Amino acid sequence: MNSELKSFIKIFSTGCLWGTIGLFVKLMEEQGSSSSYTGFLRLFFGFLLLAVITLIADGPKAFRIGKRTLFSCILLGIVCQGTFNILYSTSISVNGMSVASVLLYTAPIFTALASLLLFREKLNHLKWIALPVNVVGCALTATGGNFSAAAIAPLGLLIGVGAGFTYGMTAVVGRIAMKEKSSPLAVATYNLFFGCVFIATVHRPWRTVEKPLDAKLLLFGALFGLVATALAYALYFSGLSKISETSKVPVIASVEPVVATVIGAAAFGENINAVRIVGVVLVLVSILLFSMKRGKKQKEPSE
């Protein structure tokens, strides 16, 4: 198995782990958590667990990173973790869950455009086909075709697209962070650390819940931090370090709404209608199209 295929599998696995996010969010909401406190606990416990994993796997020296990598990690934490969480939570409040999900999955478009500008990645005909297929597939999978709240105010549209943009930049800034051949685990740890600090400073989320130290709530937060955060980002940055085309990353990871739909049906009895099934098929087709090689071997993008 070549390194590119291994990286695809890691990114795909990350998407599967991210598909459990809705499960943890619902479990924590049932314990009285707010969206900002849930996001904070996710990053806080994810950071602690990933720091331990990094120390065991790579040793203390892994945390010695260059200034360029450190700056990229700060950007990752502030923009792709902190700002993303704030924008997406606000988008859900302003636009509703269905429309917020649709706007979030514009992320691959922003990643593809940024990769074209920064890394000179070519958008071949397969990518031009796969991008709209992926966006439509994610939208149908996430909403089941229910766009009853589709009247979007300009501010709501801006906030929702902003969430998609900040999410889409994770792969781009992450690739820049990996250029100095730093430990992927250390990069992932710093990413969560700066995101946690940013949310704590801006939101002070512990003030938004009645019992912030509730044992059951903290347990679910720790599990959220382990499964959908520490393990997910360890796989994500490890895979990202070996993928030559950054634009592929969010598309491969878009298996997330597919897994979320299956979990929603199994754990909460949510309906899987024909529209959702079509969406699942479109997502899988887009992943396949993005993973296919062209006739001629593509040159490594300029660094």
Is position 132 within any domain? no
Q: How far is CA 153 from CA 38, 86, 91, in A?
A: 27, 18, 11
| pLDDT value at 148 more than 70 | no
pLDDT score at 297: 47
| pLDDT value at 151 more than 60 | no
Amino acid at 196: C
Look up the domain containing 190 and give its range: 3-120+149-245
| pLDDT value at 303 more than 70 | no
| pLDDT value at 292 more than 90 | no
Is position 27 within any domain? yes
Is position 283 within any domain? no
pTM over 0.75: yes
Round to whole Å and give the CA distance between 241 and 294.
22
Is position 277 within any domain? no
Round to whole Å and give the CA distance between 140 and 35.
24
Round to whole Å and give the CA distance between 210 and 34.
10
pLDDT tier at 293, thresholds 50, 70, 90: low
Round to whole Å and give the CA distance between 77 and 197.
8
Is position 250 within any domain? no
Average pLDDT value for residue range 261-280: 89
Is position 34 within any domain? yes
pLDDT score at 302: 44
The least confident of 193-197, 209-213, 259-263 is 259-263
pLDDT score at 300: 44
The residue whose two tokens read 């459990």 is: 20
Q: How many CB atoms lie within 10 A of CB 120?
A: 11
| pLDDT value at 139 more than 50 | yes
Round to whole Å and give the CA distance between 53 and 229.
12
Average pLDDT of the chain is 89
Is position 252 within any domain? no
Share of the chain above pLDDT 90, in %: 65
pLDDT score at 180: 81
| pLDDT value at 291 more than 60 | yes
What total number of domains does the chain contain? 1
pLDDT digits (tens, 9 = 90+) for 152-168: 678 888 998 999 999 99
pLDDT tier at 150, thresholds 50, 70, 90: low
Is position 211 within any domain? yes
